[in-house]
Amino acid sequence: MKQALVGARIFTGEEFLDNYALVITGEKIEALVPRAQLDSSILQTPLAGGVLAPGFIDLQVNGGGGAFFTNDTSVSAIQTMLDGHRPTGTTSLLPTLISDTREVHQAGVKAVADAVAAGIKGVLGVHVEGPFFDMARRGAHNERYIRTMEQADIDWLVASVKAQHDFKVMLTLAPEHAAPGQIKQLTSAGVVICAGHTDGHYEDVTAALNEGLSGFTHLYNAMRPTTGREPGVVGAALEDGNSWCGIIIDTYHVHAASARIAYAAKPKGKMYLVTDAMSTVGSPEKSFQIYGETIYEKDGCLVNAEGRLAGSAIGMIDAVRLNTNWVGVELAESLRMASLYPAQFMQADNYLGRIVSGYRADLVHFTDDYRVTHTWVAGQPCTHI
């Protein structure tokens, strides 16, 4: 079916367009045309002002809609997470597994493969966060699962990538605990390696970058900071011009000035927004269980019994709003950080992250006060308010 979305200011991924119509045919974007030139025979879907933008892409989603992926490594849990995050504007995501046994992680990767094979839209791959971390930087990850990487771990991750051609496998690890050549084995096979939960030194990170490490998970959090004499993980991340950095903008994980410093240091396009969301997003629940302990919402953030931050309670529209209104980034750039840049990191920017002819019709419409009203995934609409 052909339809035209009209009445909103359109952000293409590059620029804002006023008084334009977006024509969708089936799953794809067909055209952007001046509204005055729109064929009157095309069914019109009116949008009451606001912004129509590429759908948001979240590369770190632990849970949503009441489902926590590590606790429930099923296709139905993935669908619940997608449904829970869609009202926040997220149309694609990486279900994320936190530190656990190899068997749990293997089950999670299989569930993602099954979801993709079943044709569930919006699953770009899987993010395996842990368990190859530094104990001192483990955050809320349970210490009983933290360990060093073995060849058996590499073998199954490589096999997972080779078996699948439709999604990415991302692994977050502490590079200082990887033996020389281990990261290279993984990146050569196509595994996306990110540094996180790491107490490594600058030299550890640069060595890992030379082996193909290409990203940093929740920049600033759970990693060695920068000082005058020790650049640390943060310094290595900000210095490197080729790698990507995810960042949690929820007013708790990162100071606004620290975010601005990172944005100034990294080349444009190398910083992207993530939520690190837990099961409470898109759910009425205010607490949930990890490793048998209760994580609860306190003053808008999620903490465990030790008071450690345990993910976030935000959706992507919140990250966009805070990045714009709290950090002070222009809306256009915040939208790129929520869609185009993560698409580029995942090498999915040939069909996601822009509103151009031929791209998949993954879209979000939100009001001027950042309330998501509609989303489209592969052209299929959903109304949220």
DSSP-derived secondary structure for 293-341: EEEEEETTEEE-TT--B-SBS--HHHHHHHIIIII---HHHHHHHHTHH
What is the pLDDT averaged over residues 125-133? 99
Q: What is the mean pLDDT of the chain?
A: 97
Q: Is 19 annotated as a binding residue?
A: no
For residue 149, the model assigns a pLDDT of: 98
Long-range pairs of 179-188 with CB within 8 A, sequence gap ≥ 24: 179/149, 180/207, 181/211, 182/149, 182/154, 182/211, 183/208, 183/211, 183/212, 183/213, 184/211, 184/212, 185/154, 185/158, 186/154, 186/157, 186/158, 186/212, 187/211, 187/212, 187/213, 187/214, 188/212
Q: Read off the CATH number of the domain in which 150 is found.
A: 3.20.20.140
Query: In this predicted model, what pLDDT tens digit does every residue of 39-65 receive, in sequence order?
Result: 999 999 999 999 999 999 999 999 999
Return the closest-CA partner of residue 309 out of 248, 357, 367: 248
CA dihedral 5, 322, 198, 161 (to 10 degrees): -10
Domain assignment of residue 14, given as a range: 2-52+358-383
The count of structural domains within the chain is 2
What is the pLDDT, as a whole number, of residue 165?
A: 73
For the segment 130-151, the average pLDDT, to the nearest whole number, is 97
Does residue 199 form part of some domain?
yes
User: Does pTM top 0.95 for this prediction?
Assistant: yes
Residues paired with 248 in a beta bridge: 274
Token digits for 315? 């959706």
Give the CATH number of the domain where residue 45 resides: 2.30.40.10
> 165 labelled as ligand-binding?
no
Residue 94 pLDDT grade (very low, low, confident, very high; cuts 50, 70, 90): very high
379 and 277 within one domain:
no
- CA 346, CA 242: separation in Å to the nearest integer? 14
The annotation status of 229 as a binding-site residue, yes or no, is yes
Q: Is the pLDDT of residue 72 over 90?
A: yes
Polymer length of the chain: 385
**3-state DSSP assignment of residue 366:** strand
Calculate the alpha carbon distances from 256 to 51, 260, 315, 323, 342 in Å.
24, 6, 18, 8, 21
**pLDDT mean over 184-196:** 98
Same domain, 15 and 100: no
Give yes or no for residue 166 having a pLDDT over 80: no
Range of weakest confidence among 57-71, 129-143, 305-319? 305-319
CA angle at 201 for the pair 200 and 203, rounded to the nearest 5°: 120
Q: How far apart are the first and last CA of the chain?
A: 23
How high is the pLDDT of residue 23?
Answer: 99
| Those residues with Cβ within 8 angstroms of residue 87's Cβ, 6 or more apart along the chain or in another chain | 282, 315, 372, 375, 384
Q: Is the pLDDT of residue 164 over 80?
A: no
Domain assignment of residue 170, yes or no: yes
- Is residue 218 a known part of a binding site? yes
Q: Is residue 136 part of an annotated ligand binding site?
A: no
Ligand-binding annotation for 328, yes or no, is no
Which residue, 108, 105, 172, is CA-closest to 138? 172
Q: Is residue 352 situated within a structural domain?
A: no
pLDDT digits (tens, 9 = 90+) for 260-306: 999 999 999 999 999 999 999 999 988 898 988 999 888 889 998 88
Mean pLDDT of 4-20: 98
353 occurs within a structural domain: no
- 365 and 287 assigned to the same domain: no
pLDDT digits (tens, 9 = 90+) for 335-345: 999 999 999 99
Residues 36 and 75 in one domain: no
Question: 103 and 129 share a domain?
Answer: yes
Instruction: Judge if 38 and 186 occupy the same domain.
Output: no
Give me the percent of the chain exceeding a pLDDT of 70. Answer: 100
| pLDDT over 80 at 111, yes or no | yes
Both 42 and 81 in one domain: the answer is no
Q: What span, in angstroms and rounded, lies between the C-alpha atoms of 247 and 216?
A: 9
Do 206 and 326 belong to one domain?
Answer: yes
With H, G, I as helix, E, B as strand and everything else as coil, classify residue 45: strand
User: Nearest 5 degrees, angle CA 241-CA 246-CA 247?
Assistant: 115
**Which pair of tokens denotes residue 343?**
């698409």
Q: Residues 6 or more apart from 229 whose CB is under 8 A from it?
A: none
- The response to whether 309 counts as a known ligand-binding position is yes
Q: Which residues of 270-290 are buried (b: 16+ CB within 10 A; e: fewer)?
A: bbbbbbbbbbbbbbeeeebeb
Does pLDDT of 1 surpass 90? no
Q: Are 282 and 362 members of one domain?
A: no
Looking at residue 267, the DSSP 8-state letter turns out to be P
Percent pLDDT > 90 in the chain is: 92
**Judgement on whether residues 47 and 75 belong to the same structural domain of the protein:** no
Within-domain flag for 351: no
Looking at the annotation, which residues are catalytic? 276
CA distance 276 to 315: 9
Residue 182 included in any domain:
yes
Q: Which of 88, 54, 86, 89 is nearest to 332 (CA)?
A: 54
Residue 86 has pLDDT above 80, yes or no: yes
Q: Which token pair is 166?
A: 């439709």
Cross-strand partners of 57: 92
Is 178 inside any structural domain? yes
Q: Is 201 one of the annotated binding-site residues?
A: no
Instruction: Supply 187's token pair.
Output: 């990146």
Distance, in Å, from the CA atom of 286 to the CA atom of 302, rounded to the nearest integer, reads 9
Q: Is 331 annotated as a binding residue?
A: no
Least confident stretch, 140-149, 161-170, 249-258: 161-170
152 and 266 belong to one structural domain: yes
Same domain for 83 and 118? yes
